[in-house]
Structure 1
Amino acid sequence: MNKPELLVTPTAVDDILPLAKAGADAFVIGEQRYGLRLAGEFDRQEVKKAIELAHSEGKKVYVAMNALFHNDLANELDDYVAFLKEADCDAIIFGDPAVLMAVRQSALGMPLHWNTETTATNYFTCNYWGKRGAVRAVLARELNMDAVIETKENAEVAIEVQVHGMTCMFQSKRPLLGHYFEYLGQTMKIENHEEARNMFLHDQERGNKYPIFEDQNGTHIMSPNDICIIDELQELVEAGIDSFKIDGVLKSPDYILEVTKIYRQAIDLCADDPDKYEEMKEELLEKIQAIQPENRPLDTGFFFKETVY
């Protein structure tokens, strides 16, 4: 049985080697100028260094270019994809066809992973982008298990599924928090990730807290819970899902490292000894529960139910 790739989102270059040794097969990195909701900010020099380190361990690096591009940024894409080709990037993650056009112009042959986060809901659309150059589709987080498996059965491209971490519920290109603080006569530094500045929308009726933060792509409101299907991987492995993603946005490097170790163990058991996985899956879940922040309950997302926030 083929093992799915374990895809992880590091927060910095220093995370690459520890995560590789913990069992990560590939990494998603990038800079917020071009990529959405990254666990860490990687400028060009850091992208090059991350690729060098990952390749030294036989791992892959995918660079996110899935932001919402206006004309000014769209005119920069040729240069950036040419840089990524020179840096030996393994694939580019895209949602906007402008990236596809830039790759054809300046980085022909670069593998492309299609990821719009919301519209990858059927295999027809996955195959549409496959015919236009994508080799992988990243499925929407709102699909249930049956839909994920049906899509894999009929897809002509590789399929990636998020198995752990928070998901985005809302995005606006407007800096809503910045405008709010400006209205109050205050200033707020726009930062991609600084836990001390975390803000929440508090839903008292449901007892939920929704993380909210800003970066160069605008304002993002995130789910109150973290997806965790460490104890429900067998069906996805048997279906041949190609990549399992751990999303580390707004998580500490130590947390991402420990979760990576646990999912590495689970994937290996699923592929090599399914009966042993069945025996150990509750123990694996308990290991993650033990390190889970108190304000981030775990659930199975949309895999088995229509989650309502």
Structure 2
Amino acid sequence: MQQQKGKVELLAPAGNMEKLKTAFHFGADACFVGGSAFNLRGMSSNFKNSELREAIDYVHSLGKKIYVTLNIFAHNSEIEYMPRFVKLLEEYGADAVIVADLGVFQLVRENAPNLPIHVSTQANNTNWMSVKTWRDMGAKRVILAREMSLKEIKEIKEKVPDVEIEVFIHGAMCMAVSGRCLLSNYFTSRDANRGICAQDCRWNYKVIAEGHEEKGAHDIVEEQGETFIFNAKDLCTIDFIDKVIETGVDSLKIEGRMKSIYYNSTVVKQYRKAIDSYYSGNYEYDPEWYKELQTISHRLYSKGFYLGKTTEEDQNYNTGNSYSQTYQLVANVKEKLEDGKYLLQIRNRVFADDTLELIRPEGDPVKFKVKNFFNTKTEEYVEVVHPNTIAVIESELEMGPMDLIRIKLPEGKSESDMDTETNTL
């Protein structure tokens, strides 16, 4: 599905090649990825240099775009090794790099002058003057801070129309402005601004205020057990995505390079539906979009700062820190062998009598069952298969490579997604 001229870009995360291909299969216009260094997902699998070249060639063969994150706040030791890397990215044909640090910005301009630069949300751009300044310095796109309202975003686009504007529409939020958090470094010596966040904001804390004895003050201790005062809810804009598009932004960004292919496919597909509905001229919000976004592993959803002033209840957990989801991925389709036979990669345990659902880029989920599974390793038909098994099934449904198969979780049960996430970008 090619991005139409003038149509807002749907930008998806990709932590590895499988996630990259899945995102495009389900409707992304572009993906952002990280190399083996210099990005804020140090604990993700990321892409080695050879893999980056393969990824860029693959994406361009689809007529789509790929951006490489270079968004750490670099120290001297990292600056020394960056020139070679950015020259490689320019040679490979990356569509842009995403940077936060002013020195890194200048380094890219000096060493890879033909490589477009996007300014990261980590740069904390919250006003049109700072956006204009980055544009004047040569930035092609500015990714706004997430602490922005629809009104503010629209004004920035009107004041600086000749630079692309990107905003986040879904995924993890951070307790620090645009993710510039020091908690992880303070508690664990793992620098969130250099890609190795320990997610300290998700921990439970006791609030203690030291008083002055001479004034008769007392310590204040949270009495109701655990509290999660730093822990932000996940962002979800699906029910007002039309309002986000109408601000005039150029790109809508999904967070989650460390999330699973089920997360990636589901989020991309629902926002793809919403965006296409908007441009059809007959936009109408479909509650099924939000319902599908409940099927993936997520914390409670919020509207972020888009609608203006918020309360603590809007943004943060008061108690608990649990993830919830209603479905679990059990397999992905590797290939069609012959009519009615498909080769599957099993991701989670599944039984032959389970009611399964096929997830394709187009259309609603389709329920089906299989008689048994043919285990390709043991070469026998079995009633149950386990993770990392390659199996063959027979079905009358038409399936394609990268289609997904899921199962509804029992009521009250919620298993976490296959991957974790960090909370900065």
Q: TM-score range by the shorter chain?
A: 0.7 to 0.9
Counterpart position of 1:235: 243
Q: Which residue of the partner structure matches residue 128 of structure 1?
A: 133
Question: Partners in 2 of 1:104 and 1:193 — Cα distance?
Answer: 28
Residue 78 (1) aligns with residue 113 (2): no
Q: 2: CA distance between counterparts of 1:57 and 1:2?
A: 19
Matched, 1:58 2:63: yes
**Alignment partner, residue 7 of structure 1:** 11
Three-state SS of the structure 1 residue aligned to 2:140 is strand
User: Which one scores higher on RCO, CA 8 angstroms, separation ≥ 6?
Assistant: 1
Higher helix share: 1
Is residue 267 of structure 2 the alignment partner of residue 253 of structure 1? no
1:110-189 mapped onto 2 (5 Å cutoff)? 110-117=115-122, 119-155=124-160, 156-170=162-176, 171-172=181-182, 175-176=185-186, 178=188
TM-score scaled to structure 2, two decimals? 0.60
Deviation at 1:57, TM superposition (A): 1.1
Deviates more, 1:61-70 or 1:31-40: 31-40
TM-score (norm 1): 0.81
Q: Is the 8 A contact 1:9 1:29 kept in 2?
A: yes
Distance in 2 (alpha carbons) for counterparts of 1:32 and 1:306: 37
Is there any run of 5+ residues in structure 2 with no aligned partner, and where? 207-223, 317-425
Query: Structure 1 residue 16 and structure 2 residue 26: aligned?
Result: no
- Structure 1 partner of 2:277: 269
How many residue pairs align between the two structures?
A: 282
Q: Give SS of 1:64's match.
A: strand
Contact 2:83 2:107 in 1 (8 A): yes
What is the Cα deviation at residue 58 of structure 1?
1.2
2-structure distance, mates of 1:118, 1:100? 11
Q: 1:231 to 1:95 in 2, by over 3 A?
A: same
Would you say the 8 A contact 1:69–1:96 is kept in 2?
A: yes
Helix, strand or coil at the partner of 1:303: coil
CA distance in 2, matches of 1:7, 1:146: 22
Letter in 2 for 1:82: K
Contact 1:40 1:193 in 2 (8 A): no
- Give CA-to-partner distance per residue, 1:44-98, whole Å, 9 cap, x none: 1221121122111111111111101111111222111101111111001111122
SS of 2:238's partner is: coil
2:35 matched residue in structure 1: 31
What amino acid maps onto 2:280 in structure 1? D
Q: Deviations over 1:100-156 (max 9, x none)?
A: 222222211211101143521011111101011101110000011111111111123
SS in 2 for 1:164: strand
- The one-letter amino acid paired with 1:157 is V
Q: Map Cα deviations across residues 12-64 of structure 1 (whole Å, 9 max, x no partner).
A: 11222221121111111113631124765222122112112211111111111
* Structure 1 spans left out of the alignment, 5+ residues: 181-190, 211-220
CA contact (8 A) 2:13 2:33 kept: yes
Q: Considering only aligned residues, what root-mean-square deviation do their CA atoms show, in Å?
A: 2.9
Give how far 1:232 is off: 0.6
Say which SS state the counterpart of residue 58 (structure 1) adopts: coil
CA distance in 2 between partners of 1:130 and 1:74 (Å): 23
Change (3 A) 1:40 1:126: farther
- Can you list the C-alpha shifts for 1:164-195, whole angstroms capped at 9, x where unaligned? 00123242396455459xxxxxxxxxx9699x
**What is the CA–CA distance in structure 2 between the aligned matches of 1:208 and 1:4, rounded to whole Å?**
39
Q: Would you say the 8 A contact 1:165–1:249 is kept in 2? A: no
